[in-house]
Amino acid sequence: MPAPSLDDLADRLGEAQLLTDPDLLQGYRQDWAKAPNPGMPLAVVRARSTENVQEVMRWASAHGVPVVPRGAGSGLSGGATAVEGGIVLSTEQMRHIDVDPVTRTATVQPGLYNAEVKAAVAEHGLWYPPDPSSYEICSIGGNIATNAGGLCCVKYGVTTDYVLGMTVVLADGTAVRLGGARLKDSAGLSLTKLFVGSEGTLGIVTEIIVRLIPEQPPRSTVVGIFPDVVACSEAVLAITSRTRPAMLEFMDNTSIRAVEADLRMGLDTTAGAMLLAQSDLTGSDRAVETEFMAEAFRAHGASEVFATDDPDEGEQFTVARRAAFTSLGKVGSLLLEDVGVPLPALPQLVAGIEEISARRDVPIALVAHAGDGNTHPIIVLEDDDEDRAARAQLAFGEVMELAIGMGGTITGEHGVGRLKAPWLPAQLGDDVMDLSRRIKSALDPQGILNPGVML
């Protein structure tokens, strides 16, 4: 079948850019995850408005052409991987934001970076909590697509907890407005929440209304150095069963060494593992919480505990934690995991990952949003070592199977995308897969929205 003509679409796009230059298309074929075998798209559309997106979907549904929505391209599961002969719909130029301090909401277009949303609302003394480590380079639209998390979630929840409404363009080009600037709304089905985390498979989100909270006070930080990862993860349970820190992050020796080699921050490269906790309570409550956490660190074998009330000093450790992906990326190519388990299973998960790493003889670095049981085992590859790459692929699947066996999830915050789609049925089961496909078919009967992702 010949490719449908783009002229008709180009005429209707107005201010949006339609790219067909093969050199330009090249940069839109994959996201950060570099999922294998991306297609060569027919075109990339850089939309500027909901209307632009509607025109793309009207044209695509008329011609049965697949459409892959794309935010900043920082996705870690291959959720934005071009389909041969399809359209890549980029939201990178949809960058408007309105902040309403009275309703404490912001109306945002999807192309803004998470950090830009945070900055815009901070001018009004407000805070948008979800904070993926990649917050400076990931888009808010992508955050909605994957129901992104971050470091704050242990206390402040995930993206869906902050989404009150949205405009979505459906497969046939219809635009619907869901929810609104209302904290409470029980009118009709909870469609807003259904679209959060749907990874562009049900519709394309073109505007989002997010809930904001007042800026929180500066934080105090407690750092613990542990001889090994299992003792360290037991300290996590001791803390979360008694208090609710504003952050509780984990780094293992491999990730500490990679960050130190990259950034020269003075981290203890002999540490078996490190825990990084923060309190944003106020007054005497803060001292009580930080001392409790320091004591829990010691009681679980921490060889060193360091506490500071200086926010800048605390932020340095957070920077180190966030840098793990990029610093490890300088050691070799990475296969990123995002498995989560109910918190009591955390020590067992951590031990199991060590076992897989040893058995498959591939290095697996570990960082984690430890306080909510969401870990990022990072498998480090070496260029030109094809045998190691094959063993890494086996380990990649085994880590997910390990988490599923513990009642966990294959993805806590990155989404399923293409890379984890083969394991989704093992987690959800046939009945939930069938239920999901029924909803997908009801909303996208032609299957043109991000085919190959998730389902």
> Between 134 and 153, how does the x/- string for binding to its own copies read (CB under 8 A)?
------------xxxx---x
Q: Kindly tell me the burial class for residue 22, based on how many C-beta atoms sit within 10 Å of its own C-beta (0-12, 13-18, 19 or more).
A: exposed
Which of 201, 253 has the CB closer to its own copies? Answer: 201
Contact criterion met (CB below 8 Å) for 246 and 152 = yes
Of 24, 299, 394, 435, which one interacts with its own copies (CB under 8 A)?
435
Find all residues with CB under 8 Å of 214, minimum gap 6, and list them.
104, 125, 126, 127
Query: 32-61 burial, b if ≥16 CB within 10 A, otherwise e?
Result: bbebeebbebbbbbbbbbbbbbbbbbbbbb
Q: How far apart are CA 186 and CA 184, in angstroms?
A: 7
**At closest approach, how far in Å is the CB of 316 from its own copies?**
25
Could you tell me which of 372, 149, 368, 116 has the C-alpha nearest to residue 244? 372
Can you tell me which residue has the tokens 């209304």?
209
Of 62, 119, 213, 394, which one interacts with its own copies (CB under 8 A)?
213
How many residues bind to its own copies according to rule CB under 8 A? 90
Applying CB under 8 A, does 54 fall inside the site for its own copies?
A: no
Applying CB under 8 A, does 218 fall inside the site for its own copies?
A: no
Of 177, 299, 304, 390, which one interacts with its own copies (CB under 8 A)?
177
Q: Kindly tell me the burial class for residue 10, based on how many C-beta atoms sit within 10 Å of its own C-beta (0-12, 13-18, 19 or more).
A: middle
**At closest approach, how far in Å is the CB of 199 from its own copies?**
8
**At closest approach, how far in Å is the CB of 97 from its own copies?**
17
Run of H or E including 126: strand 126-127
Find all residues with CB under 8 Å of 39, minimum gap 6, and list them.
29, 81, 82, 83, 84, 85, 86
**At closest approach, how far in Å is the CB of 363 from its own copies?**
25
Applying CB under 8 A, does 249 fall inside the site for its own copies?
A: no
Applying CB under 8 A, does 424 fall inside the site for its own copies?
A: yes
**At closest approach, how far in Å is the CB of 347 from its own copies?**
12
Site residues for its own copies, window 348-387 (CB under 8 A)? 369, 372-374
**At closest approach, how far in Å is the CB of 132 from its own copies?**
11
Question: Which 3 state secondary structure label does DSSP give 345?
Answer: helix
Of 21, 22, 186, 383, which one interacts with its own copies (CB under 8 A)?
186
The two three-digit tokens of residue 323, written as one number:
């840098």
Which of 381, 454 has the CB closer to its own copies? Answer: 454
Applying CB under 8 A, does 133 fall inside the site for its own copies?
A: no
Applying CB under 8 A, does 416 fall inside the site for its own copies?
A: yes
Site residues for its own copies, window 267-326 (CB under 8 A)? 281-285
> Between 228 and 247, how does the x/- string for binding to its own copies read (CB under 8 A)?
---------x--xx-xx---
**At closest approach, how far in Å is the CB of 219 from its own copies?**
15
DSSP letter, residue 161: G
**At closest approach, how far in Å is the CB of 6 from its own copies?**
27
Find all residues with CB under 8 Å of 49, minimum gap 6, and list them.
15, 16, 94, 206
Of 85, 95, 115, 160, which one interacts with its own copies (CB under 8 A)?
160
Which of 12, 193 has the CB closer to its own copies? Answer: 193
Question: Which 3 state secondary structure label does DSSP give 433?
Answer: helix
Stretch that binds its own copies, among 56-64, 115-123, 157-165, 249-257 (CB under 8 A): 157-165
**At closest approach, how far in Å is the CB of 303 from its own copies?**
25
Starting at the earlier edge strand, list the strands of the sheet with 87-90: 17-19, 43-46, 87-90, 67-70
